[in-house]
């Protein structure tokens, strides 16, 4: 193997901004064949959808399985879905449940929803409405519209929970406002009947009309029944509301922001997290620098203007001030040394526009207590790091922050130089370095107390409350 100098290695470091080139199919395949879990899942997705390769469900399952066995939650969900639908493998609900559960326990919203559906239908597990509600709720709280709709149905029908039309309307509305047709249908019906909300034919017709525009024949008939109960003025008002309606998804929020700022474009994205209750947050210097405007984007799609207070380029840290009073912030672990082999969790917003827009959780362990050439400022970690993870929290098993995610080793570039592809060689700046940076800038933060270990899903619930996406806007040339 070739000897690699430190300078060359640093050139190969992808500061959570490059990843695999989407059009480089050969590179993705090579990485997948060498065991890189993210590439295996990506290749499976390409075979499922016929993107860059012939559509082939069996090949998709082959690659999903390889990634799933390495613990990639998205691949576990994809493999479970293949078994549930009998695509590429014989239909097997028990096997589907097995993989959905693995994904769900890592906090994957689609896996949680899939597991809820199996409990609701009794496929692969004993039918259990309470368990269905439990998993629907976990996914719904991550703002996953299909789970919000199903949770709304459970409340409307009193299955697994006491019947509660107001609660049903709450969840239908969350899904409806994101453009989910079933949520719009459920909300429209509640307005038409007056369950959980005052009876309102205008609102009923608007939501049913939006759902009907997606082609469901039953919804079209229901909308037309409501129309026959309305005056011409009410019908005109409902149609006007439907024409002017826009979804409140994060993607729509981005479009609105860019429309309001016609001379700006998103240059890059990253992750940040609150370190106290006064709007102060931390991220990477390379995320915050070179931006004409920085926006913090939260789980519900709302945004807040963000300014850079201070940067430390040498340690790749940035102190940010978000223009809001936040309710939750991270606890920083100091005084308790990190041990090699500790299990860790990363929460962030990788590959914006490709992966889930509501946050992504990954797990792994501390591989080494130093970085490249024994740089003691860093931890080496095995949890997957992708574009957009930069600046996110590295959490221990109690949900306390032990580092700030900063970089990954470029697998393809390394392979070209060494003939071997490194797997999950990623880095985080130690929290001790970050606290020195905060102290130097006079910013208060809370230190952690000893706590019992938590499940990864519970840690994810904690992290998403104080973690957010950062959008870096740059002026057009």
Determine the pLDDT at residue 281: 94
Task: Select the more confidently predicted residue: 24 or 335.
Answer: 335
CB 139 within 8 A of CB 147: yes
Hey, where are the domains in the chain?
Answer: 1-24+256-477, 36-69+72-105+108-141, 152-177+180-246
* Residue 59: CB atoms within 10 Å: 17
DSSP per-residue string spanning 365-426: EEEESS-GGG-TTEEEE-S---TT-TTPEEE-TTS-EEEEEEEEE-HHHHHHHHSS---S-E
Determine the pLDDT at residue 210: 93
- What architecture is domain 1-24+256-477? Beta Barrel (2.40)
Sign of CA dihedral 438, 439, 443, 445: positive
Q: Which two tokens stand for residue 294?
A: 């920085």
DSSP 13: E
CB 285 within 8 A of CB 312: yes
Using 50, 70 and 90 to split pLDDT, how confident is the model at 421? very low
Q: What distance in Å separates the CA atoms of residue 174 and residue 242, rounded to the nearest whole number?
A: 17
Q: What are phi and psi of 373, to 5 degrees?
A: 50, 45
Q: What distance in Å separates the CA atoms of residue 297 and residue 468, rounded to the nearest whole number?
A: 6
Arithmetic mean of pLDDT, 424-453? 86
The closest of 139, 49, 18 to 63, measured between CA atoms, is: 49
Determine the pLDDT at residue 1: 35
Q: Per-residue b/e over 423-448, b at no fewer than 16 CB within 10 Å?
A: bbbbbbbbbbbbbebbeeeebebeeb
* pTM of the predicted protein model: 0.52
Determine the pLDDT at residue 472: 86
Arithmetic mean of pLDDT, 197-223? 89
Average per-residue pLDDT in the chain? 83
Determine the pLDDT at residue 424: 61
Question: Which pLDDT tens digit goes with each residue over 369-416?
Answer: 987 778 889 899 988 777 778 899 999 999 999 999 986 544 434 444
User: CATH code for 36-69+72-105+108-141?
Assistant: 1.25.40.10
Q: What distance in Å separates the CA atoms of residue 61 and residue 429, rounded to the nearest whole number?
A: 36
Domains 1-24+256-477 and 36-69+72-105+108-141 belong to one CATH topology: no
Determine the pLDDT at residue 264: 52
CB under 8 Å to 297, separation ≥6 — which residues? 250, 253, 254, 303, 468, 469, 470, 471
CB under 8 Å to 413, separation ≥6 — which residues? 11, 12
Q: Say whether pLDDT at 358 is over 90.
A: no
CB under 8 Å to 311, separation ≥6 — which residues? 285, 288, 289, 317, 318, 319
């Amino acid at each position: 193997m070739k000897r690699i100098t430190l300078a060359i290695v640093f050139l190969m470091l992808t500061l959570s901004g490059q990843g695999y080139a989407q059009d480089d199919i050969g590179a993705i395949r090579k990485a997948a064949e060498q065991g890189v879990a993210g590439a295996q899942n990506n290749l499976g997705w390409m075979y499922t959808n016929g993107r860059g390769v012939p559509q082939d469900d069996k090949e998709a399952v082959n690659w999903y399985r390889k990634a799933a066995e390495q613990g990639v939650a998205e691949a576990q969900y994809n493999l479970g879905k293949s078994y549930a639908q009998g695509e590429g493998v014989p239909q097997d609900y028990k096997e589907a449940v097995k993989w959905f559960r693995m994904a769900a326990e890592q906090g994957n919203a689609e896996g949680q929803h899939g597991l809820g559906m199996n409990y609701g239908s009794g496929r692969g597990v004993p039918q259990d409405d309470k368990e269905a509600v439990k998993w629907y709720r976990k996914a719904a709280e991550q703002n996953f519209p299909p789970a919000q709709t199903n949770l709304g149905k459970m409340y409307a029908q009193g299955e697994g929970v006491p019947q509660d039309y107001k609660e049903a309307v709450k969840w239908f509305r969350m899904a409806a406002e994101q453009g989910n047709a079933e949520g719009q249908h459920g909300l429209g019906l509640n307005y038409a009947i007056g369950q959980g909300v005052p009876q309102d034919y205008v609102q009923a017709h608007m939501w049913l009309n939006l759902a009907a525009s997606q082609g469901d024949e039953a919804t079209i008939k229901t909308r037309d029944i409501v129309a026959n109960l309305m005056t011409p003025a009410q019908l005109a008002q409902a149609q006007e509301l439907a024409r002017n309606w826009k979804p409140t998804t994060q993607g729509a929020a981005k479009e609105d922001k860019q429309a309001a700022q016609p001379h700006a474009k998103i240059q890059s994205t990253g992750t940040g997290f609150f370190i106290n209750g006064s709007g102060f947050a931390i991220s990477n210097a390379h995320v915050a620098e070179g931006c004409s405007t920085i926006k913090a984007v939260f789980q519900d799609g709302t945004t807040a203007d963000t300014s850079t207070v201070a940067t430390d380029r040498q340690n790749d840290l940035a102190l940010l001030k978000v223009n809001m009073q936040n309710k939750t912030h991270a606890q920083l672990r100091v005084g308790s040394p990190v041990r090699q082999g500790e299990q860790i969790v990363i929460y962030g917003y990788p590959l914006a526009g490709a992966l889930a827009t509501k946050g992504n959780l990954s797990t792994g362990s501390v591989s080494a207590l130093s970085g490249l050439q024994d740089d003691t400022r860093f931890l080496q970690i095995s949890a997957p790091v992708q574009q957009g993870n930069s600046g996110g929290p590295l959490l221990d098993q109690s949900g306390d922050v032990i580092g700030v995610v900063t970089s990954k080793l470029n697998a393809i570039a390394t392979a070209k130089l060494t003939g071997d592809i490194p797997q999950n060689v990623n880095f985080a700046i130690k929290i001790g370095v970050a606290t020195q940076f905060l102290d130097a800038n006079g910013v208060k933060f809370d230190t952690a107390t000893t706590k019992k270990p938590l499940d990864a899903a519970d840690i994810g619930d904690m992290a998403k409350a104080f973690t957010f996406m950062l959008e870096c806007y740059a002026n057009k040339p």
